[in-house]
Amino acid sequence: MPSAVLAKRSVLAEALYRSSADWLIGSTCRWSGLLVLNYHRIGTPNAECDPDLYSASQEEFDRQIDHLKRHFEVIGGDEVASALSTRGRRILVTFDDGYRDNYLAAFPVLKRHGVPATFFLATGYLDRPMVPWWDEIHMLVARSSGGLIPDLDGGDYEFRPKIDDRLEVARRVVRRYKLIPTTATGEYLDNLARGLGVSRVAPSEASDLWMTWDMVREMKAAGMSFGGHSASHPILAMCTFERQKWEIEQCRDRIASELGEAPTLFSYPVGGPNRFTAETTELVGAAGFQFAFTFSRGWVNNHLTSPLRLSRAAVESEIGFSLFSAMTYLPNIFC
């Protein structure tokens, strides 16, 4: 979220929170529908990985879940259909990607509170752990002592660590990557590493990055739900038709084979408005998914437009508790 927008929302949320938290809970805020919260990672980022993937520390997550449990009906992944057809203030807690901190840091909190959550898995990362492209880009920039970044913002960019902000440069490269056809992304990362004078990140660095299927089964037995998030987490809009179909069906098949039932929920990788197409949505529906979630801000009121394009509200590490609670009390203003 642009920082100016975030700052404005935070100031407003803080003012509301200080003036009267009780008022917020009162009858004026009785929205009805489904608010889907989107998390990625829980914990504190290290110096090299993509910090933008961190949604909350474990302590913050604990406070957020406690709040949700006390004021709303937090539903499981199998209750989406019924939540959309009846009135109520329902929350669906979702996680994208399948990072191991979901199991190590989020799951214990969810278990302690008896609150369900839904986890969307990029199944290829569980099957063959490797560092995903967004983390690898941040790691390559963090490890470089300078060089040339190919084709950034229209031309080659000279990266000078003494002058440049590494985090900002890595974010620019991530944005650039999202516009590259999937068939050319491997070559782009090769050229990036070469230009920055560093090696590509080895899969061995991801040995404990992702959940295992045993962890997933343990979480499912404890009431957690699982959905699809593609096999290798490409930008689906940048894939050929055949590749999109394979990504969607492969992740469905892997989850069905590991968990014994086909998933009915899907979330689009990097699911902003231009990151998937009408073709993607059709393929997701044809593969048997009943509901699909985007990364477009918002909440779902009961006037549903498309069950395969449901909005979510991102939980980001820079939002304070005031803004988090305002998002839940007044989603029409704060989500």
Which parts of this chain interact with Zn ion (CB under 5 A)?
96-97, 269
Q: Which is nearer to Zn ion, 125 or 299 (CB)?
A: 125
**Dihedral angle sign, alpha carbons of residues 261, 233, 52, 308:** negative
Residue 275, C-beta contacts closer than 8 angstroms, at least 6 positions apart: 178, 235, 236, 237, 268, 269, 295
Q: Which is nearer to Zn ion, 196 or 315 (CB)?
A: 315
Q: Which is nearer to Zn ion, 130 or 149 (CB)?
A: 130
Q: Which is nearer to Zn ion, 107 or 268 (CB)?
A: 268
* Contact criterion met (CB below 8 Å) for 93 and 117: yes
Which DSSP state fits 315?
A: -
Q: How far apart are CA 184 and CA 182, in angstroms?
A: 5
State the nearest-atom distance from the C-beta of 53 to Zn ion, in Å.
8
Q: How far apart are CA 295 and CA 305, in angstroms?
A: 16
State the nearest-atom distance from the C-beta of 233 to Zn ion, in Å.
6
* Contact criterion met (CB below 8 Å) for 277 and 236: yes
State the nearest-atom distance from the C-beta of 149 to Zn ion, in Å.
23
State the nearest-atom distance from the C-beta of 269 to Zn ion, in Å.
5
State the nearest-atom distance from the C-beta of 228 to Zn ion, in Å.
11
The SS3 call for residue 12 is helix
* Contact criterion met (CB below 8 Å) for 297 and 311: yes
Burial of 309 (0-12, 13-18, 19+ CB in 10 A): buried
State the nearest-atom distance from the C-beta of 327 to Zn ion, in Å.
20
Closest Cα partner for 260 from 216, 291, 222? 216
Token couple for 266: 């899907």
Tally of CA atoms within 13 A in the half-sphere of 187 that contains its CB: 6
State the nearest-atom distance from the C-beta of 268 to Zn ion, in Å.
9
Q: How far apart are CA 28 and CA 242, in angstroms?
A: 49
Q: Which is nearer to Zn ion, 134 or 334 (CB)?
A: 134
Q: Which is nearer to Zn ion, 52 or 62 (CB)?
A: 52
Largest CA distance in the chain: 60
State the nearest-atom distance from the C-beta of 31 to Zn ion, in Å.
27
Tell me the residue nearest to Zn ion as measured from the CB: 96
The SS3 call for residue 37 is strand
Closest Cα partner for 209 from 50, 18, 33? 50
Q: Which is nearer to Zn ion, 270 or 319 (CB)?
A: 270
State the nearest-atom distance from the C-beta of 97 to Zn ion, in Å.
4
Q: Which is nearer to Zn ion, 211 or 326 (CB)?
A: 211
For 110, the enclosing helix (H) or strand (E) is helix 107-113
Q: Which is nearer to Zn ion, 120 or 329 (CB)?
A: 120
